[in-house]
Amino acid sequence: MLRYIALRGLLALLVAFTVSLAAFLLLNVAADPAQAIAGEDATPDVIEAIRARYGLDRPLSVRYFDWLGGVLTGDFGESYYWHKPVAELVTDRADETITLALSALAVTIVIAIPLGAMAALNPNSWIDRFALGVAVSAQAVPNFWLGLIMIILFGVMVPIFPVSGDDSWKHFVLPAFVLGASSVPAVMRLTRTGLIEVMGADYVRTARSKGFRGWPLLRRHAMRNALLPVISVLAVQLGQKFGGSVITESIFAINGLGRLALESILGADIPTVQMLIFVFAIVFVVMNLIADILNAALDPRIRIG
Amino acid sequence: MKVQRWRSLCAASAIALATSFAPAHAGPEDDTLRAAMAEEILNLDYNYTTKREYIILAQLTDATLFNLDPETQEVNPSIATAYKWQDDMTLDVTLRDDVKFHDGSTLTPEDVAYTYNWIANPESESNATGVVERWLDNAEVTGPNTVRFHLKSVYPLVLRDMANRIMIRKAGTYDPDGKINRDAMSSDLVGTGPYRVVNFEPGTELVLERFGDYFGEAPEIGNIVVRNIPDVGTQQAELMSGGIDWMFKVPLDLAESLGATPMATHLSGPDLRVGFLVLDAGGYTDPDGPLTNVLVRRAINHALNTPEMAEYLIGGSAEAIHTACHPAQFGCDQEAVAYPYDPEKAKELLAEAGYPDGFPLELWAYRDKAASEAIASDLAKAGIDVTLRYVKLESLNQARAARDIPAYFGTWGSGGTADTAAIARIHFSGESDRDMSGDKDLAELVLSAEQTADQEKRKEIYSEAIGKIADQAYWAPLFSYSANYLVSPQLDFPLDPDGLPRLQNSAWK
């Protein structure tokens, strides 16, 4: 098991570095960081001065290996745009994104698991079709559109939630719903399928014969096994929430990592983008790893390594 | 009866819920103007920033030695009460004795001299250094209320630079005990402006309150909160729900549609940015190319339907222009020759120049795609075989530096400076690749305007330069831009002709 975790950890680092290299090359091809920092009306002198000040006049390979060397010693460099160490910038803003990601996951669980359970208990009924409708809609609706609709509904027409900022828990209600909704289809369908499969199992039939029905049957006998795949999917979804926060945080003006990522990309702030991609890749791979370990821990039949 | 009671209960619950959850509303009730900006505000010290958002904020928190009248561009007193040129290289400035910093201390001439000497010092790495290093040798205190500025060379725009750029700081601000701290004022700003900083969360919110000891006329609104909201749709929702009172840089279609409702007022004001076509008259891409012929360049000017582009593609208060500067800029003489839209005349001129069937032209552009396509289309109607190369700004800059661009659609905002110097120097002094005229006499003329302190003389020089640019059709001037604002119907927000939004002049209706 430990060997497996170590290997996956190594793989995570490789993925993170590969992604960061790709991002580095793409960003440098797509934009001139010196021009982006200087602005539209900058004179060539100013652009050249910025290029020299930040070492952007050096060859790409030198700059990348400089960055890599820094990372290996724990130094992620300084942001061109915010003039702060990138690590400090990311640490300062991580709270908001973690809060948003966990809230969004809670929304997913609260909506998707009961909906999936109801659909499984009433297969092919109107409840099942309703649940399917919710899943298809949530899958089809893009985040930014749902965000704007929620803002119009609950920020303008019935103004009960603030639509921008991150001062209180109220500010996270709408963005958490928007970000959480995108994971509802996967979790709901998996819950439904898992429960339908489990409900036909021998031990559930035995439990029924003992007089268990409805919620007690679900809670004590069916749910635990049916939720095994759901737990691993939730771990992966949590990783995706970090990536999904880019759009949601920008729409709701939450000062987290997602918004930082967008601002950095628009400003061609390569050191910040590099570290964010690195962090997002690590989070994603780690979440996958946790999913595997959880599965193994919950189901003795699964052995890894 | 039961149903009625249920309904009442529901209604009461809804009201209670709405009351307890509803966000704080902006407006006159708490005398707080809430403004939204998409750009993240990270540094409050305008001596270390450049973008427009920071100019707007600096107007609130800081004061300069002089002010420029946005209507007339005349220099008015601010921290300084008077000035006197001892000679072309020595300027004496007299200061008010009642200027207070936000921490309660009184401004001294030592503070003024320190600020200017610091900014002029390359070690300061200030964004304003470039503005003063070309003219300031040093500043010295000469009396209890006077400062003397020694110049390196004759420079007529000293007062304009003083009015626009240098925010006065307390002596020792940036190098206390000899240790340099360029971020000293980035968050904990101690300025001399009409508002003082109460709270600042970089990238999130700035809270300002009226400064009771401000030396000038007190602003009407007591508090200003500037919030960073990156998405314009979210800003719109905040405005509709009363969360903010003011937003700017609003896309025209959104401004018009929301402005037509009772929830917001659409204001369209001038912007010093102008759009233009730069033509390779100097023959950098092809020494014998068609664009080196003045008749061809005049034909291009006649071929462009700039009034319709301004009205339908840029919109708002945008207008067609015929000069290589914004009409509101000092020295931008509107008597220069104009080339009205006349496609037939354009064809005649092309034929006269020896191009009756037109010629191939590569036209580069990086913004306003619809306008770029309209330009290409108009030129094609005159018989020119246009290939439009719509690229990123960086690519256009690189190609222009390599002298690979025969013609491009460019824009220039003059850094908000209402003076022809701010556009002529960069485009016609021969010092940058933006100057494609190849006209050395014109370059000398433009530079000579910066060698005299006589404003009438400067005006004459710019008049001659702008006239020559028009006569030789080095550019095809296109249109000015407009700035669109959406504001709360309760807010009176006056617009100034120089296009700079001044929130400090706002009032509740």
Tell whether B42 is within 8 A of chain A (Cβ): yes
Superfamily name and number for A93-303:
MetI-like (1.10.3720.10)
CA distance B142 to B93: 10
Instruction: Look up residue B165 and give its two tokens.
Output: 């750029």
CA distance B30 to B35: 14
3-class SS of residue B507: strand
Phi, psi (rounded to 5 degrees) for A211: 105, 0
Q: Which amino acid is at B474?
A: Y
For residue range B40-85, list pLDDT tens digits in order: 888 899 998 877 888 899 999 999 999 988 887 788 999 999 999 9
Residue A224: per-residue pLDDT: 76
Residue A155: per-residue pLDDT: 85
Q: Which residues pair with B485 in a beta bridge?
A: B248, B267
CA distance A163 to chain B (A): 7
Q: What is the DSSP letter of B123?
A: G
By mean pLDDT, which of A279-283, A299-303, B276-280 is the weakest?
A299-303
CA distance A258 to A264: 10
Report the relative pairing of strands B246-248 and B475-487 from DSSP bridges: antiparallel
3-class SS of residue A240: helix
Contact B238 A161 (CB under 8 A): no
Confidence of residue B380 (pLDDT cuts 50, 70, 90): very high
Residue A77: per-residue pLDDT: 85
Residue B16: per-residue pLDDT: 42
Q: Which residue of B has its CA nearest to A173?
A: B21
What residues of B are in contact with residue A145 (Cβ under 8 Å)? none
CA distance B192 to chain A (A): 25
What residues of A are in contact with residue B17 (Cβ under 8 Å)? 160
The 8 Å CB, 24+ separation contacts for B291-296 are B291/B361, B291/B406, B291/B407, B293/B353, B293/B354, B294/B472, B294/B473, B295/B349, B295/B350, B295/B352, B295/B353, B296/B349, B296/B350, B296/B353, B296/B355, B296/B359
Confidence of residue B451 (pLDDT cuts 50, 70, 90): confident
Residue B454: per-residue pLDDT: 78
- Is the pLDDT assigned to residue B17 strictly greater than 70? no
CA distance B10 to chain A (A): 15
Residue A41: per-residue pLDDT: 65
- Is the pLDDT assigned to residue A11 strictly greater than 80? no
Q: Average pLDDT, stretch A198-202?
A: 84
Q: What is the DSSP letter of B409?
A: E
Q: Which amino acid is at B115?
A: T
CA distance B491 to A87: 42
Name the residue with higher pLDDT: B340 or A132: B340
Q: CB-hemisphere CA count at 13 Å for B106?
A: 8
- Is the pLDDT assigned to residue B274 strictly greater than 50? yes
CA distance A259 to chain B (A): 9
Residue A160: per-residue pLDDT: 87
Report the relative pairing of strands B360-365 and B385-390 from DSSP bridges: parallel
What residues of B are in contact with residue A32 (Cβ under 8 Å)? 394, 397-398
Model confidence, pTM: 0.76
Instruction: Look up residue B320 and give its two tokens.
Output: 């067609």
Contact call for residues B380 and B309 (beta carbons, < 8 A): no
- Residue written as token pair 């920033």: B49
Strand runs (DSSP E) across B23-154, as ranges?
A: 32-37, 66-68, 75-77, 80-87, 90-95, 136-143, 146-151
Q: Which residues pair with B279 in a beta bridge?
A: B407
CA distance A68 to B414: 40
For residue range A243-264, list pLDDT tens digits in order: 778 889 988 989 899 989 888 8
Tell whether A48 is within 8 A of chain B (Cβ): no
Contact call for residues A41 and B417 (beta carbons, < 8 A): no
Phi, psi (rounded to 5 degrees) for B286: -155, 105
Residue B100: per-residue pLDDT: 96
Question: Which residues, numbered 255 to 294 in chain A, qualify as contacts with chain B under a Cβ-Cβ cut-off of 8 Å?
Answer: 255, 259, 262-263
Residue B18: per-residue pLDDT: 43
Q: Write out the DSSP string of B355-406.
A: -TT--EEEEEE-S-HHHHHHHHHHHHHTT-EEEEEE--HHHHHHHHHTT--S
Q: Average pLDDT, stretch B425-452?
A: 90
What residues of A are in contact with residue B203 (Cβ under 8 Å)? 255
Residue A270: per-residue pLDDT: 83
Q: Average pLDDT, stretch A155-169?
A: 86
Q: Which residues pair with B419 in a beta bridge?
A: B330
Residue B402: per-residue pLDDT: 87
Mutate to test the interface with A, among B43, B200, B225, B394 (most CBs of A within 10 A): B394
Q: Average pLDDT, stretch B460-481?
A: 96
Q: Average pLDDT, stretch A130-153?
A: 87
CA distance A147 to A174: 8
CA distance B428 to B420: 11
Residue B15: per-residue pLDDT: 40
Domain residue spans of chain A: 93-303
Contact B183 A263 (CB under 8 A): no
What residues of B are in contact with residue A158 (Cβ under 8 Å)? 18
CA B67 from centre of chain: 16
CA distance B382 to chain A (A): 31
Mutate to test the interface with A, among B241, B249, B432 (most CBs of A within 10 A): B241
Name the residue with higher pLDDT: B475 or B416: B475
3-class SS of residue B503: helix
Contact A43 B432 (CB under 8 A): yes
CA distance A229 to chain B (A): 37
By mean pLDDT, which of A249-258, A289-298, B291-300, B358-367 is the weakest?
A289-298
Q: Average pLDDT, stretch A82-99?
A: 89
Q: Shortest CB distance from B241 goes to which of A82, A159, A251?
A: A159
- Is the pLDDT assigned to residue A71 strictly greater than 90? no
For residue range B221-271, list pLDDT tens digits in order: 999 999 999 888 899 989 988 889 999 988 888 898 899 988 899 998 888
Mutate to test the interface with B, among A156, A161, A167, A170 (most CBs of B within 10 A): A156
Strands of the sheet with B90-95, listed across from one edge: B80-87, B90-95, B146-151, B136-143
Residue B3: per-residue pLDDT: 42
Tell whether A158 is within 8 A of chain B (Cβ): yes
Tell me which residue of B386, B389, B387 sits closest to B364, measured CA to CA.
Answer: B389
Sign of the alpha-carbon dihedral angle for A190, A196, A199, A202: negative
- What's the angle, vertex CA B214, arms to CA B210 and CA B220, rounded to 5? 45
Q: Shortest CB distance from B393 goes to which of A30, A40, A152?
A: A40
- Give the ranges where A77-169 is alpha helix by DSSP (H): 86-121, 126-140, 143-151
Q: Which residues pair with B320 in a beta bridge?
A: B479
Residue B465: per-residue pLDDT: 96
Question: What residues have CB less than 8 Å from A300, skipping those under 6 apart?
Answer: none
Residue B4: per-residue pLDDT: 45
CA A207 from centre of chain: 38
What is the CB neighbour count within 10 angstroms for residue B421?
23
Question: What residues have CB less than 8 Å from B70, skipping those under 6 apart?
Answer: B418, B496, B497, B498, B500, B502
For residue range B126-153, list pLDDT tens digits in order: 888 878 888 899 999 999 999 999 999 8
In Å, how far are B4, B11, B12, B18, B69 from B7, measured between CA atoms? 5, 6, 8, 16, 60
Tell whether A175 is within 8 A of chain B (Cβ): no
CA distance A239 to chain B (A): 24
Confidence of residue A302 (pLDDT cuts 50, 70, 90): low
Q: Write out the DSSP string of B311-346.
A: IIII-TT--B--SSS-TTSBT--TTS------HHHH
Percent of chain B clearing pLDDT 70 (strictly above): 95
Tell whether A251 is within 8 A of chain B (Cβ): yes
Contact call for residues B261 and B241 (beta carbons, < 8 A): no
Phi-psi region of A185 (alpha: psi -120 to 50; beta: other; left: phi over 0): alpha
Strand runs (DSSP E) across B189-255, as ranges?
A: 195-201, 205-210, 223-228, 246-248
Report the relative pairing of strands B32-37 and B146-151 from DSSP bridges: unpaired
Tell me which residue of B361, B369, B378, B368 sits closest to B306, measured CA to CA.
Answer: B378
Phi, psi (rounded to 5 degrees) for A268: 50, 40
CA distance A38 to chain B (A): 9
Report the relative pairing of strands B475-487 and B66-68 from DSSP bridges: unpaired
Q: Average pLDDT, stretch A271-277?
A: 87
Q: What is the DSSP letter of B106?
A: B
Tell whether A305 is within 8 A of chain B (Cβ): no
Averaged pLDDT of chain B = 89
CA distance B152 to B438: 29
Q: What is the 3-state secondary structure (H, E, C) of B433-450?
A: CCCCCCCHHHHHHHHHHH
Contact A162 B243 (CB under 8 A): yes
Contact A165 B50 (CB under 8 A): no
Confidence of residue B354 (pLDDT cuts 50, 70, 90): very high
CA distance B322 to A120: 72
